Structure 1
Amino acid sequence: MTGESIKPQEIRTLTVLRGVAASWVVLFHFAGHFNLNLKSVTIIANGFLAVDLFFYLSGFIIFLVYFQGFERGRFRFFDFIKKRFARLYPVHFVTTVLIAGLFLVSAAAGIRPLPDTFNAYHFLINILMVHAWGLSGSLSFNYPSWSISAEMFAYALFPIMALFVLKFRLWIVGLTAFVLLSLLAIFAREWLGRPLVHLTYDFSILRILPEFLIGGWTYMVVRSLSRPSPTVVRIACAGSVLVTLVLFSVWEASVYMTLIFPVLIASLYLLETGREEQATPKGPAFLMLPYESLVYLGKISYSLYMIHAFFEMTCFSVIEKVFDHPADAVPLFWLFPVMILTFVGAAIVYELVEKPGRKYTLGVLVGRKS
């Protein structure tokens, strides 16, 4: 341990939030396959904005874990990148290869032709995790993994962001981050022809940068404030959840809507850390079970996010072929079993790939446990 990071206890409320966000993305992607137009439901149609929630949350957590070491001069950039790589790469590699195999099998069986992006170039930029850096003209292979490419870009710039936060007052950092978000939103619409929150393969690195910085700034604000009373925290938490539900149930997607996410993250963080300080006893087991299930869903959220495209491609194709349903017109009752199967698959990937893969990769790159 070089001292470049701290090891806070798991923030279980934020773990639950990750699970909810990943499930929201899955529902958004699955919604187009049914005989009912689920995307006419605004909160489902806005499900792709859960990726922005991940970006804000990522900035918050990275600053929580690493900023203290940075300001004390104990941050080691290459150790940091190795750990981030070990966190993301094993699942990314396995799911990319798995999707490639699925494409080959589907083409050989005459189910669907190989996509135009099925070539050595797109496979290489996917394997190198640079496929969201404006190097491709479309999504390719495991299509949700564009956000992992964007995450690696933000990680590479973390020291610059941390130095900026260290050298300037928080109000200047916050104002700069908001101005950056606004300028990039204008640039995306005027020069790239797409709203900022719709950028994926086409320079989503612009999408993550202000959100990651705002997430980190949010943690710094929370750290600098006197801890509010538990009642204030509960009210803020309930209010941010309610406002989030209303916003995303009523209005169409906008990058400015996502600014509720840092408030939600901060209030959930304070809720959990306040509980730890008060040593609140747990309730009866039958009341804790649903919450523990949500915590586990959060733990497998990365695997869920990365494997759900495989289940989307396979499950709906099989259902359409076996039960003779028209393409993208599957009866809605199939939603529940497909979601359950996807969650089970994610748990398997988490236990067999993500956890051991992270440990093995860290052992190779860092030579010690993290």
Structure 2
Amino acid sequence: MRAEKRFHSLDSFRGLMAISVMLYHLRVSGSFTEWLLFRHAEVFVSFFFVLSGFVLTHAYGSAAQFNFRKFFITRTFRLLPLHLFMLSIFILLECGRYMAAQKGMDFNNAPFSGKFAPSEILPNALLLQSWTYLTNPLSFNYPSWSISIEYYTYMIFALILGIAFGIKTWVWATMVLVALTLMSAGNTFFTVESLRGLAYFFTGCLAYTVYVRFPHPNRTQSWLLTTLEVLAVTAALVFVVNDFAGKQLLASLLFGVIVVIFAFDGGAVSRLLAGRGFSFLGKLSYSIYLTHAAVLFCVVSVFMVARKILGVDIAPVIDGTRYLDLGNVPLNNLIALLVAGSVVLVSMFTYRYIEMTGQALGRALANKPAHNSPVLRPDTEA
């Protein structure tokens, strides 16, 4: 039964986290985007990694046979089509900036320079931008830094299942311990982004091994799960809005515990999250996450052009950060809502025509018979 289970509340969490990260990058003076929760929402990217490790372990971790070819194709076509589409959009936007610069438009940075330099295109296309200090992890579509880490972490996960299945839990624990140790030691060999991704992803793998060892609560124990869910959400909110030493290290443990609690889908908060609206956002989460930077870029550009035409500074720079500001709090809140709604609308399009198309193609290729297809046959774990 567990092999067929879908984690409805965890799916919804993806959407909520994606929206929160989008609002973290959107700055509208005096609006809800400036709430303390959203000003610290960058930590929610860590939750994505934990959740990915948990879900992939559910899907593949107990398989008697592991087909690397099928895994590679389906995971690649899950992530790469939308990533490459958005990379091409950013390249087109830079071309637009270049043409505008030729007509005398001034920009803070010259087109195709810095994080938009042509030398960054190939590392981004190959999802390598976050693994080496030779490249800028925030180049072009900056949220894709985490997709870069996640994609190759998938492959490390597959390798572990293929060659170390019998001791996979110990290998996952070692990966987490080594990554967290290197993070705290301030190493200069691996990027911090890669260490975070590895630590959080394999924490998710370990969280699943904890989850399967718990008996599934029955309906009469709903009150217990509701209590645990409320406590988990409260702890998460307190954790997110406060800054303290070791926050990135503790995120791994806290988010792992939260994922295990909500994986049972048994409490009142889980039932709320399983509602149609939250589920809809969960379905769009990957598109929301990867498209929002381009939408925000376009919105800010429109405000900057309007500022030049109107002679009113509606796109001020405050402490090095570009804000949107119409000089009225209700209007600013309305602008923030419209921008968020625009991201969701764009995401509906990319989900339908980019994500789903890519996934369908991936499934077709993965299910196509391949001569001498490598099937890794792991030993049974004791």
TM-score, length basis structure 2: 0.79
Structure 2 counterpart of 1:307? 291
Residues 39 and 183 (structure 1 numbering): CA distance in 2 closer, same or farther, change over 3 Å? farther
- Any residues of structure 2 matched to 1:86-165 within 5 Å, and which? 86-110=77-101, 111=105, 112=107, 113-114=110-111, 115-134=113-132, 135-162=134-161
Question: SS at 1:28's partner residue?
Answer: helix
Distance 1:61 1:174 in 2: 15
Alpha-carbon RMSD = 3.0
Distance 2:164 2:40 in 1: 31
- 220, 225, 228: which one pairs with 1:233? 225
Distance 1:121 1:174 in 2: 35
- 204, 207, 215: which one pairs with 2:196? 207
Amino acid aligned to 1:342? V
| Residue-by-residue CA offset, 1:190-212 (whole Å, 9 max, x unaligned) | 537xxxxxx9xx45222111211
Structure 1 counterpart of 2:73? 82
TM-score, length basis structure 1: 0.82
Distance 1:27 1:48 in 2: 10
Q: CA deviation at 1:95?
A: 0.5
Distance 2:147 2:357 in 1: 19
Amino acid aligned to 2:239? L
Structure 2 counterpart of 1:184? 182
**Uncovered stretches (5+) of structure 1, i.e. residues with no partner:** 1-5, 193-198
Amino acid aligned to 1:125? P
Distance 1:335 1:53 in 2: 24
| Residue-by-residue CA offset, 1:213-270 (whole Å, 9 max, x unaligned) | 1101101111012234333222211111111011112335821341211111111111
Aligned length: 337
Structure 2 counterpart of 1:256? 249
Q: CA deviation at 1:137?
A: 3.8
User: Contact 1:59 / 1:213 at 8 angstroms: preserved in 2?
Assistant: yes
Amino acid aligned to 1:29? H
Question: SS at 1:58's partner residue?
Answer: helix
| Residue-by-residue CA offset, 1:248-303 (whole Å, 9 max, x unaligned) | 1233582134121111111111125x89xxxx9x9xxxx99x92011010000000
Structure 1 counterpart of 2:261? 267
Structure 1 counterpart of 2:378? none
User: Contact 2:137 / 2:145 at 8 angstroms: preserved in 1?
Assistant: no
User: Contact 1:304 / 1:343 at 8 angstroms: preserved in 2?
Assistant: yes
Structure 2 counterpart of 1:58? 52
Residues 126 and 7 (structure 1 numbering): CA distance in 2 closer, same or farther, change over 3 Å? farther
Residues 97 and 151 (structure 1 numbering): CA distance in 2 closer, same or farther, change over 3 Å? same
Structure whose CA Rg is larger: 2
Question: SS at 2:135's partner residue?
Answer: coil
User: Contact 2:130 / 2:194 at 8 angstroms: preserved in 1?
Assistant: yes
Distance 2:299 2:46 in 1: 27
Q: Establish whether residue 11 from structure 1 lines up as the match of residue 14 from structure 2.
A: no
Question: SS at 2:116's partner residue?
Answer: coil
Structure 1 counterpart of 2:340? 339
Distance 2:76 2:348 in 1: 21
Structure having greater relative contact order (Cα 8 Å, sep ≥ 6): 2
Q: Establish whether residue 68 from structure 1 lines up as the match of residue 65 from structure 2.
A: no
Q: CA deviation at 1:321?
A: 2.2
Q: Establish whether residue 23 from structure 1 lines up as the match of residue 19 from structure 2.
A: yes
User: Contact 2:15 / 2:283 at 8 angstroms: preserved in 1?
Assistant: yes
Q: CA deviation at 1:174?
A: 7.7
- 234, 238, 244: which one pairs with 1:242? 234
Structure 2 counterpart of 1:3? none
Distance 1:156 1:57 in 2: 16
| Residue-by-residue CA offset, 1:83-119 (whole Å, 9 max, x unaligned) | 1001001101100001110111122123533132434
User: Contact 2:183 / 2:192 at 8 angstroms: preserved in 1?
Assistant: no
Q: CA deviation at 1:306?
A: 0.4
Amino acid aligned to 1:152? Y
Structure 2 counterpart of 1:196? none
Aligned-residue identity in percent: 23
User: Contact 2:12 / 2:281 at 8 angstroms: preserved in 1?
Assistant: yes
